[in-house]
Structures are given as structure tokens and as C-alpha cells.
Structure 1
Amino acid sequence: MEDFFKKVFDELQGNKKILTAVLTDIDSEEISQNLLGEMFLFDEEGIIEFSSDQLETELEKFFLNADLKNQILALSEKKNKDSQLKEINLDPDNKLEVFLEPVVDQPHLTVFGAGHIAEPLVKICSLLDFTITVVDDREEFLNYDKFPTADQLLLLDYTDYFASAKIKENDYLVIITRGHQHDYQVLKNVINSEAAYLGMIGSSRKIKTVYNQLRDDGITEEKLEAVHAPIGLDIGSETPAEIAVAIAAEIIAVRRDK
């Protein structure tokens, strides 16, 4: 069972969509009733992992069937993320009832820069079910008194952060550092990532300067156009809190595909 949950964790690290299935009823003369309560998982590729050797032994032969694999894939492709009871027909004589539970990788927000906009932005996004990391190289700006709802504060040079960082499709990145050179360093490291959202604050002049540096580095126009810069929806915001609201609103729009 420990290996089973490690597999769930590893699959999430790989940013895969996963469904876990708990056996709630078995209508079969071939499958032991003792397996009630056992679990298996499958991902969008139909890959199966079983919670015990006995479960694998008794079910594996069924899951080798192409039609059943297609049935499994159809379940994993459903947009409905709610838990549900589902009947799986292994063959005409063997049926399972399972409780399906989607395992969702929680969206993660990384804020580069712990300045005056970061504080309200972290407060707002903590209400939106994001896990949050704030990265800055200034100790006096980075503390949990200022960011009580952040999950992680990293006191690092921005370039050092990327030595071990792994950016995934469920990452939302906000660049609000204190100067265009830091913005350039961060954006250069993340612009080719698969992040769901990438935004950078700045005046049109600063953005132009950073973009020209990136063009010199060989970054394509397509990649530059994908960056939300200036950052945030245009709602006439002026104060740090209002700018944070505009950024959060844009992140929501991207997350909800609006």
C-alpha cells in the first residue's frame, strides 16, 4: 500500500491527471470478495497501478483487454472532477462497482519579488486555493509576518532559485521584482517553461528593454507574446492592492480559460 501511494505522488509530480478507484462491490465468481476496499489508480494513458499483489493478480488479465482500456480512458477524460460511483464491466460475467476520486494537483503560484504588490497579491491568491511560494534575495522583505498565508518563503538570488526549480503546467508565475535586470533574469529562465500563466510587471519602456534583451538571447516573438505584460487586467488600478486585484483577476481568467 505504501508503494501505491508513492506511485500516486510520483504521478502528480509528473503533472498527470489521476483517478483512484476504490472497490465498493464485486459481482463475480472469479474475483474474491476479500478485495472489497482495495484500490487501483489509472491516468490519462490508461496506466494501472494496484494497491496489492492479490488485486493485481485477479484483475490484471481483465485490464489487458483493449475494450476495457478504452473504457478506462473514457473515464479519465471526463471533465467532471467530482467523486462518483461507477460500474466497470470487466466482461459479460464480471462487474465491479468503484468509487472514483480524482486526484488533482493543486495550482501553485510563485511570486518573484517580495515588494509592496506581493503582500496583497499573496493574501488574495491564498483565498483562491493556490499554494504559494515567494522568492526574493532581501531578508528584510521576506518574512511570515508580512506573508502569513504563504506556504514557502525562499531567500535566494533569483538565478540560484532555478538551479533546482521544476516548473510544471499547473504553475502560475508572477514577476514583480525591484528592477528590470532581475525581471530579465527571471523571465529568461521561465519563458520556455510550460507554466499555465506567466506575467511581468512594468512600464512599456521597461518591458521593451527586457524583451530586447531576450530577443538578443534568441527568444521568439511567439514566446514573448505569451507573457502577460503589462501584468494584470486593465481595471484602472493604481494602488498596490488594486494592482494585486488586477493580477489575481487575470490569473483567474487564465485558470478558468476565459
Structure 2
Amino acid sequence: MAEVEDFFKKVFDELEGNKKILTAVLTNIDSEEISQNLLGEMFLFDEDGIIDFSSEQLENELEQFLLNQDFKKEILELRENKNLDSQLKSIHLDQDNRLEIFLEPVVDQPHLTVFGAGHIAEPLVKICSLLDFTITVVDDREEFLNYDKFPTADQLLLLDYEDYFADAKIKENDYLVIVTRGHQHDYQVLKNVINSEAAYLGMIGSSRKIETVYNQLRDDGIKESKLEAVHAPIGLDIGSETPAEIAVAIAAEIIAVRRDK
């Protein structure tokens, strides 16, 4: 039992490190060298190869095959398939030994953090909640930050922006939208996130306001390449004018980034 608990702890630890993970459950064993009682056991692999087994017996019995180049090639091909769905897969360990495994990708759900709880944040959160994001809204104004305005948000954080970054861990699967009430708050947030590995970073504002924020960041030593990576003005150019239309433009840009379009 402890081995299984350690195995699933490894899964969660790897997700915390932003790894792309596949779990493989043994569903059939066609072999005279591997015990049939291993049916239902699991192994876990990521972009670096196999990283853990659900039992010591499974590890010991598969160990002799791990140097097999054809086996390693099949594992590599599986892990490189970005669109892999759950499926049964036959794996040839060598000429005389075959496994059937049920593959299950373990995906860290994308997370959207919206800095600012104003009139654009409200429709944006509503739209993005339909797009399989977990959503956090951060603002320092209690009258703006409540679940009546944001019923589909997963988390509302009433904090000064600087206080938020005291504990924040921004990962590769994070999408960050800066729609605060003033350029000084925008600067404060952008300064804290511009060197992160976030998948998307967008900031609202006129060209003049954006340039003001960028000049402050240049004075702080931020590289021009980092500024160029920010989506500002935020959102796809679809001629949007109302808060809801601007929210649609932002959501569309986030989708485009997420889908590599």
C-alpha cells in the first residue's frame, strides 16, 4: 500500500514541476518472463523516460527490458505525441515479450489569474470558466471582489498585489491577465511576472499607458525581449469596444496562444 501511495505522490510532485506525464496500466501480459500477477500495476513516464513504478516487483521484472532500444523508442514516440488521448497500446519489449498497456495522460489544468476585478474582469472570468481554466481573481478592493460578481471563479484573493507575490508560484501552465485600475498597479504586477515562465502574459492599456509602464521597467533593467513577449495592448484586434467585447478579444488571444495558433 505504501508503494502505491508513493507512486501517486510522485505523480503530483511531477505535476508541480510542470512535467508532461503519462501513466501506463498493465492490462495484458504476453510473456513467460513477466509475472501475470502484475496485471493492474502501473508505471509512470515523462519527457525524460520512465520515472517510477507502482511496485518494486514491477520495476525488477521490467528492468531487464529498459535498455532495449525498440522499447525505449516506443516510449519516446508516445511521450512526444502532444495530442495523445487515453488509449490501449501494445508494447513489444523484445521479440518474445509483449505488454498491453492502458495509457492515460495526466494533465495539469491551465490556470488563469486575473489581476484586477473591474468591468472587464467580470465577463472575462465568465467566458474563461467555459474553457476549462481554473481561475483566480486578485484585487485589493473588497467592494469589487465577491462571488456575486465572479460566481465561476475558483478563488478570489483580497490582497495588495505585492502581498500576492510573496507566496505566488507561477508555472508554465499559467495564463496571466493584467487589468488593474491604474498604470502604477500594472507596473507593480508586470514587474513581478515578466520574468516568469507563464504561458501567456497580457496587459490592458492605451499605447501611452503601456509605454509609461515599459519605460519604468526599462529603468529597472528589464530586457527589451521580455517586453516584446507581453501581449499589450491585450487581446486580438477584432474592433472590440464594450467590456464584454474586450473580454472576448482577450479570451480569443488566450485560446490562440494555448493552441499554438
| Structure 2 residue aligned with 1:205 | 208
Task: Give the distance between the partners of 2:64 and 2:117, measured in 1 at CA.
Answer: 55
Q: Kindly, what percent of the aligned residue pairs are identical?
A: 89
Unaligned stretches of 5+ residues in structure 1: none
Partner of 1:126: 129
Partner AA of 2:212 in structure 1: T
What SS class does the counterpart of residue 202 from structure 2 fall into? strand
C-alpha distance in 1, partners of 2:64/2:10? 21
- Quote how far apart the aligned CAs of 1:69 are: 2.5
Aligned partner of 1:186 in structure 2 is: 189
1:139-178 aligned within 5 A: 139-178=142-181
Matched, 1:244 2:234: no
Shift of 1:29: 1.0
Tell me the distance in 1 between the aligned counterparts of 2:196 and 2:51. 29
**The residue matched to 1:141 in structure 2 has which SS?**
coil
Separation in 2, partners of 1:98, 1:31: 14
- 1:35-77: per-residue Cα shift (whole Å, max 9, x none)? 1111111001103311112212211232244443232122101
Work out the CA distance in 2 between the residues paired with 1:61 and 1:184. Answer: 56
Which structure 2 residues correspond to residues 4-43 of structure 1 after superposition, within 5 A?
A: 4-43=7-46
| Counterparts of 2:196 and 2:204, CA distance in 1 | 18
Q: Does 1:100 align with 2:119?
A: no
Matching residue within 50, 57, 62 for 1:47 = 50
Asked whether the equivalents of residues 68 and 94 of structure 2 are also in contact (C-alpha less than 8 Å), the reply is no
Q: How far apart are the structure 2 equivalents of 1:175 and 1:80? A: 30
Q: What pairs with 1:208-223 in structure 2 (closer than 5 Å)?
A: 208-223=211-226
Q: Distance in 2 between matches of 1:80 and 1:171?
A: 19
Moved more, 80-89 or 15-24: 80-89
Q: Deviations over 1:121-147 (max 9, x none)?
A: 000000001111111111111111111
For 1:158, the aligned partner's letter is Y
When the two chains are superposed, the root-mean-square deviation of aligned CA atoms in Å is: 1.1
Moved more, 54-63 or 182-191: 54-63
> Structure 1-normalised TM-score?
0.97
In structure 2, how many angstroms separate the alpha carbons of the residues matched to 1:28 and 1:230?
A: 60
Q: Distance in 2 between matches of 1:78 and 1:237?
A: 37
- Aligned position for 2:227: 224
Letter in 2 for 1:85: L
Residue type of the partner of 1:133?
T
2:117 to 91, 109, 114: 114
What residue identity is the alignment partner of 1:156? L
Match of 1:137 in 2: 140
Structure 1 runs of 4+ off > 6 angstroms? Answer: none
Identify which range, 138-147 or 114-123, moves more after superposition.
Answer: 138-147
| Equivalent residue letter for 1:202 | G
Q: TM-score, normalised by structure 2?
A: 0.96
Give the whole-Å Cα distance in 2 for the aligned partners of 1:95 and 1:133. 46
Give the count of matched residue pairs.
258
Residues in 1 aligned to 2:176 and 2:159: alpha-carbon distance in whole angstroms? 16
